[in-house]
Amino acid sequence: MSSIWSIDPKIDVLNQQMENTACSNLGIKITEVGDDYMTGTMPADSRTFQPIGLIHGGSNVLLAETLGSMAANCCVDLSQEYCVGQEINANHLRGVRTGEVTGTAKIIHKGRTSQVWEIRIVNDEGKLTCISRLTMAVIKR
């Protein structure tokens, strides 16, 4: 299989780009990049919880959009275009109270003007906790 990336996505560079953003405030980190996916983690703690002590659905969405957006922008020539989120949905399937969650973004559609990504989020036991679909607009500079 050939790689989907237009640039070589370096994990340390991607994590540096997230410093002093909502991503770093929630403890999100990119942990792995494969030929056709990007994976990251987010802690299940007070930064990401809703008042009843479960990961907040909005935190799941922030993780999903972060992974999809970072990945989408690695699939284009950033000197010519960039990608921004256009639509996201998420189904929250299982509550998480401890540990961390791991999300993996995989591309479903890579077009000239849009990209569609699926982001699957699992708990420490590998059980699916959230599934999200993100549509990215590809914008000419």
Where in the sequence numbering do the catalytic residues fall?
65
Residue 49 near residue 57 (C-beta atoms within 8 A): no
Contacts of 5 (CB under 8 A, 6+ apart): 33, 35, 74, 75
Cα separation, 141 vs 48, in Å, equals 34
Look at residue 118 and give its three-state secondary structure.
strand
The conformation of residue 9, written as its DSSP 8-state character, comes to: -
